[in-house]
């Protein structure tokens, strides 16, 4: 089932029309043009109030990161501990001679 959300990619102000365009498979610019026409015909407040309410109610689109994509292999939860590398001593070994 498709979800209605605010678009993260197709966004001018809040992504309302980008999300509506994705939901209804319509160009978001066409929806923006219709909104401007309704804005001019109906007056300032009805379209503005509707847009602000949609901004507050609709969730943001979830951006899929590379770690969440099915193409990438799953990360191990508990990887095997790596054995520490042997440290090479940088101190010089010196020999002392005893005087008799």
Does the pLDDT of residue 74 top 80, yes or no? no
Q: Looking at 1-100, which runs of residues are DSSP E strands?
A: none
pTM: 0.53
At residue 77, the 3 state secondary structure works out as: coil
Whose CA is closest to 23, among 69, 63, 49, 58? 58
Cα–Cα distance for residue pair 32/12, rounded to 1 Å: 10
Whose CA is closest to 13, among 44, 51, 42? 51
Question: Position of tokens 């095997």?
Answer: 80
Does the pLDDT of residue 76 top 80, yes or no? no
pLDDT in tens, 46-69: 888 888 888 888 888 777 765 545
At residue 60, the 3 state secondary structure works out as: strand
Contact 12, 31 (CB under 8 A): no
């Amino acid at each position: 089932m498709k979800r209605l959300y605010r678009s993260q990619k197709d966004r001018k102000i809040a992504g309302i029309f980008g999300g509506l365009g994705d939901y209804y498979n319509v160009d978001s610019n066409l929806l923006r043009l219709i909104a401007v026409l309704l804005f001019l015909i109906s007056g300032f407040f009805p379209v503005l109030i509707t847009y602000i309410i949609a901004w507050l109610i609709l969730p943001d689109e979830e951006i899929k990161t590379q770690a969440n994509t099915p193409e990438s292999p799953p990360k191990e939860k508990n990887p095997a501990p790596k054995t520490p590398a042997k440290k090479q001593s940088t101190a010089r070994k010196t020999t002392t001679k005893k005087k008799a």
